[in-house]
Amino acid sequence: MADQKDKGRGVLDQSLPFERRLIELESHLERAASDQERQEIEGELEREREAVFANLSPWQRVQLARHAMRPRMLDYTARVFDDFIELHGDRLAMDDPAMVGGIARFQGETVMVVGQQKGVTTEDKVQRNFGMAHPEGYRKALRLFRLAERWGLPVITFVDTPAAHPGIEAEAHGQGPAIATNLLEMLKLRTPIFSVILGEGGSGGALGVAVGDWVAMFEHAIYVICPPERCAEILWRDVEKKEMAASALRVTAEELKELGTIDKVLAEPAAGAHRDPEAAAQTLAEEIEFFLEECKRERWTPSQRQAKFQNMGIYQETAG
């Protein structure tokens, strides 16, 4: 809800090493004494942004995707929608705070909104389990997908999770089957689904709410089969090879688009969504508007969604 927006964020202490110079320059700019000085600093800012952001390494992109100040689901819902009424509970066991959902108003239309909220303050992060949902979270999402189908509402999902929660209770309650069921049910759903990868799209935990007719992804988000650190442990037996893993896994939005996994890369404001959440929200709002327009043209059908996912993958067929 709106009161969640941007709460509890300091600036410098949460910045990444490659952002420090930018932040310094910005504070110089605020204190600039003359127009001439201002122009000089602006010029330097532009060059610095260009130098850093035109050549981000895959690992720097992972860091940006996980940036402490990166806007979260509720930062977007507060800006993109005119109203959002949160609905709670999976009707089986509990309400998972890592998975948020409810009905929202967008330009006079009602939509169903579902997604992961990572949390902003320390307390909030812990309460939301860093956006790592339990099986109950996936079942709550499924409950809301079905409601949307019954009510004829388009579904908008927000993806931002390191992973589905790995834990004893999560296993006892069927984390694997819960995700598998969502995949199957999302493929069948008789209402259109728009998904956006906000920050981290972590593995099956992300896909469990990302089987969309139209999957958009922010420029500096990542979408991975497993976190680069874990990939490094598995393949190189060395977590310090995470930078190599990030590069080998092809985690960036551009690369994923080339592989046919996502449909659209959403450009971020200069130096990242966290530097201008309003602008990032505006970009997302335009994409949702496009999606809803296409809904009216009946562009999205379950059979096309199914065909899209059936066609994913690259293999060869040898003779004989």
Instruction: Name the DSSP class of 17.
Output: G
Contact call for residue 35 and other proteins (CB under 8 A): no
Q: Among 3, 35, 54, 168, which residue interacts with other proteins (rule: CB under 8 A)?
A: 168
Contact call for residue 166 and other proteins (CB under 8 A): yes
Write the Ramachandran bin of 260: left for phi over 0, alpha for psi from -120 to 50, otherwise beta.
Answer: left
CB half-sphere exposure, 153, CA atoms < 13 A: 22
> Which H or E run contains 83?
strand 83-86
Comparison of 45 and 209: residue with beta carbon closer to other proteins: 209
Residues 173-202 that bind other proteins (CB under 8 A): 173-177, 179-181, 183-184, 187-188
Query: What is the rounded CA–CA span in Å between residue 135 and residue 147?
Result: 18
Q: Among 120, 141, 224, 280, which residue interacts with other proteins (rule: CB under 8 A)?
A: 224
Query: What is the rounded CA–CA span in Å between residue 272 and residue 64?
Result: 8
99, 116 Cβ separation under 8 angstroms: yes
- Positive or negative: CA dihedral 252, 2, 286, 117: positive
Q: Among 41, 74, 100, 207, which residue interacts with other proteins (rule: CB under 8 A)?
A: 207
Contact call for residue 225 and other proteins (CB under 8 A): yes
Q: Among 36, 55, 122, 316, which residue interacts with other proteins (rule: CB under 8 A)?
A: 316
Q: Which residues contact 212 (CB under 8 A, 6 or more apart)?
A: 157, 186, 193, 194, 195, 305
Residues 245-284 that bind other proteins (CB under 8 A): 248-251, 256, 259, 261
Query: What is the rounded CA–CA span in Å between residue 68 and residue 121?
Result: 9
Comparison of 16 and 187: residue with beta carbon closer to other proteins: 187
Q: State the nearest-atom distance from the C-beta of 102 to other proteins, in Å.
A: 25
Segment lying near other proteins (by CB under 8 A), choices 77-85, 102-110, 276-284, 306-314: 306-314
Interface contacts to other proteins, rule CB under 8 A: 163-164, 166-168, 170-177, 179-181, 183-184, 187-188, 203-204, 207-208, 211, 223-226, 230-231, 234-236, 248-251, 256, 259, 261, 306, 309-310, 312-320
